[in-house]
Structure 1
Amino acid sequence: MNKKVAFYTLGCKLNFSETSTIARSFEGEGFDRVDFSEKADIYVINTCSVTENADKRFKTIVKQAQKSNSDAFVAAVGCYAQLKPEQLAAVDGVDLVLGATEKFKITDYLNDLTKNDRGEVHSCEIEDADFYVGSYAIGDRTRAFLKVQDGCDYKCTYCTIPLARGISRSDTLQNVLQNATEIAAKNIKEIVLTGVNIGDYGKGEFGNKKHEHTFLDLVKALDEIEGIHRLRISSIEPNLLKNETIDFVSKSNSFVPHFHIPLQSGSDAILKLMRRRYLSNLYVDRVSQIRRAMPHACIGVDVIVGFPGETDEHFLETYHFLNELDISYLHVFTYSERDNTLAAEMEDVVPKNIRNKRSKMLRGLSVKKRRAFYESQIGSVRTVLFEGENKSGYIHGFTENYVKVKAPWNPELINQLHKVELTRIDEDGLVRFKFVPEKVLA
């Protein structure tokens, strides 16, 4: 019988795309993939270090694996494995820890699956992570996460990603297009572009610093791929989101009117402490440019609260800035100290209870913003891509501009695109609709 392997992914879409690539390498070696809740011979945990919670959850996930099979071999890969390999290796039940350059070669380390008294570490100096491994993840039948870029050359004072993933580097355009074509052949309707800093695409193909292609070149080339109905840009820095890209998306065949743009703070003083590469006026300009080109676009925002030095005045500046900005929702992060970052050494630390209070205020604002955006879409005709999960008797889907809709469960709708008219907002905040008299589009 083939040995069984199970995977657990913490963190971002990029991690999910890389887990899928690692999983395919196991399948190529004759392993059978099973769900993480099932009994397996090997459990692979792809870690994240962006928030404090991701660190803490690791031990819980290891215990979950041991509960399913106490004799199973447990391996840790990913960002936390690069940053704190010895710490992970010391967790009871962990047998192998692989750093940034080793994670894609995991099957080379599995000749002997005997349990170890302490985890074996194979990590590298992050400077050695100067090569690129392409990935894509097929999480369900409707969408795929396609990795186009890795690493980051920015030096934001709160962030460990450059320490965990190395320099900014990109896939070749040819390889991205080949992966996109493979995804299209699987009847997947939507591709989400992922990376650490995807607007930096084109830099460092295979570790060099030649700019072979720009992000705009990538977007234009992907728009020509047949069989992909939707392309979505997951997250892009405001200083790298150029007018040309916004204008192209507004007229493109496949790119949807949805942008997720990290802000982090609406206070210029805090942006400078964070060493972000823009100030608030540039952010306003990006939002205005999108609204001019695509009035119905969905715009999501990342924001961090409780950064060292953030006074009540700074926070209120951020709150009012976001309240007045024509955006659609927020992803709110409560600042947490990360080792080996400049921010962790800064003075004027904000007490955790105040961080939590500010976070709660912005999450409330996000609910208000999303509601207002959904209300602005009532009466409009949109295209919905329906998802595959039955949630309490309902099927859900997203419009091209990221309005979440619901309807009574109907398996025939799964992975189908339908024209609908948005009619009302339900008690749970999701949108109801009626079908526009037209056959399935695809």
Structure 2
Amino acid sequence: MNAVADKKSVAFYTLGCKLNFSETSTIARDFDKQGFERKEFEEAADIYVINTCSVTENADKRFKSIVKKAQKQNKDAFTIAVGCYAQLKPEELAAVDGVDLVLGATEKFKITDYIHQLSKDEPAQIHSCEIDEADFYVGSYSIGDRTRAFLKVQDGCDYKCTYCTIPLARGISRSDTMENVIENAREIAAQDIKEIVLTGVNIGDYGKGEFGNKKHEHTFLDLVTQLDQVEGIERLRISSIEPNLLKNETIELVSKSRAFVPHFHIPLQSGSNELLGKMKRRYKRELYVDRVKKIKELMPDCCIGVDVIVGFPGETDDHFMDTYKFLSDLDISYLHVFTYSERDDTEAAVMEGVVPMNVRKKRSKMLRGLSVKKRRAFYESQLGKTKTVLWEAENKEGFIQGFTENYVKVKTYYNPELVNHLQPVQLLEIDEDGTVRVDIL
């Protein structure tokens, strides 16, 4: 009898991005098909699956504490690591006390094939391909745990940004077929999910063939045009998209769209053209200004989020203040601030001009402060307006929360009948916790 034949419960933990959430959900559905009972991660389960991230050093460190948490729930449980960190550093993860199985980029989608080979009293098994072999596409989406779904449309990246390990962890850029994306969107809509967030590593690159060939069968514009016509989807949201791949035609489509909402998240990384060059980004700051102007011209209430990295090698005080002023003057709504951390096997890790960690943290704090001001100013600009909110399930101290189409976080007194409903509201005032109080219309 195999080691886990009679094991019937499984729990999942996801670190990192929306793409990881969509893939965890797909893996979880494979367990469902095999008859496993789904448990919360805080409960005792027979198998724990941890989907890892390697974008920052912090994600690496968190992995160990999550394994400990699983072991505390059930010391005899099997713990499996999958995802980006598992592809990049499989031996490192396998050495963590309590880990039984490590699966790389392609193997994670065959997880149920491996679990029957597990034995608790043996060293951790590693099944990890060479990343060049990650040349096929597995579609996925998350569902069932929230009022929105994350729909994966693309994987991998052909860009060579000098700070990034994602191409090493996920392989070349490849896309789902149009037919499959539309089918997945219909499946999601049929389950009364009101909002779909499109996700991937570099979604603006959508169209590269299913097996990584460079033949562009469809473009990102084709994709969003088709999705906008799928019945039953109330809202579509584009997650992160590179500024050089966000074309005028896409912005124009969103501005006239039935379902796409006025919200873009556009990575910048630095406001210094010199640093953008060192990062091997594929645009200059002038293009970024053009994108923001075009969006605001067509959609004045559009929410624009920005990724920015502080402390990249060679970033002087002048470079940083240049970025700070650039962002301060830009008509954007919030920032995601990343403190640069050295990643093995990246060009930036061996660059000169290392910025001391205390300086990185100080700069990060300054930009996070700027983000708070930007979000506040954006929220204030929306007060008095009528927007539509998608209400979420959680009861937070007697309040229900949700997001408007343009990503303003709002709240009103909790009413379970509102959950997963889209409702027109008037935005009244910003509360102490930063959310906006609304009047239901």
TM-score by length of 2: 0.98
Q: 1:73 aligns with which of 70, 78, 99?
A: 78
- Alignment pair present for 1:307 and 2:305: no
Deviations 1:59-92 (A, max 9, x none): 1111111111111111100000000000100111
- Partner residue in 2 for 1:124: 129
Q: 1:39 aligns with which of 30, 41, 44?
A: 44
Letter in 1 for 2:135: D
Q: 2:18 aligns with which of 13, 18, 29?
A: 13
Q: 2:280 aligns with which of 275, 292, 295?
A: 275
- Alignment pair present for 1:195 and 2:200: yes
Query: Which deviates more from structure 2 when the two are superposed, residues 1-10 or residues 268-277?
Result: 1-10
- Partner residue in 2 for 1:397: 402
Letter in 2 for 1:320: K
- Partner residue in 2 for 1:229: 234
Distance 1:138 1:352 in 2: 39
Q: State how 1:37-436 maps to structure 2 within 5 Å.
A: 37-138=42-143, 140-436=145-441
Shift of the alpha carbon at 1:409?
Answer: 1.1
Q: Equivalent residue of 1:397, what SS?
A: strand
Shift of the alpha carbon at 1:114?
Answer: 2.1
Distance 2:439 2:99 in 1: 52
Shift of the alpha carbon at 1:41?
Answer: 0.9
Shift of the alpha carbon at 1:4?
Answer: 0.4
Distance 1:148 1:298 in 2: 22
Q: Equivalent residue of 1:275, what SS?
A: coil
Shift of the alpha carbon at 1:2?
Answer: 6.0
Q: Equivalent residue of 2:85, what SS?
A: helix
Distance 1:219 1:100 in 2: 27
Shift of the alpha carbon at 1:38?
Answer: 0.8
Identity %: 77
Shift of the alpha carbon at 1:112?
Answer: 3.5
Letter in 2 for 1:227: G
Q: Quick check: 2:156–2:171 contact (8 Å CA) kept in 1? A: yes
- Partner residue in 2 for 1:3: 8
* Alignment gaps of 5+ in structure 1: 437-442
Distance 1:80 1:370 in 2: 32
Q: Equivalent residue of 2:12, what SS?
A: strand
Distance 2:94 2:124 in 1: 4
Letter in 1 for 2:259: S
Distance 1:364 1:90 in 2: 39
Tell me the number of residue pairs that the alignment of Structure 1 and Structure 2 aligns.
Answer: 436
- Partner residue in 1 for 2:3: none
Q: Equivalent residue of 1:406, what SS?
A: strand
Q: Equivalent residue of 1:137, what SS?
A: coil
- Partner residue in 2 for 1:440: none
Distance 1:26 1:427 in 2: 43
* Alignment gaps of 5+ in structure 2: 1-5
Q: Equivalent residue of 2:211, what SS?
A: helix
TM-score by length of 1: 0.98
Distance 1:2 1:272 in 2: 52
Deviations 1:147-169 (A, max 9, x none): 00000000000000000000000
Shift of the alpha carbon at 1:139?
Answer: 5.4
Q: Quick check: 1:238–1:278 contact (8 Å CA) kept in 2? A: yes
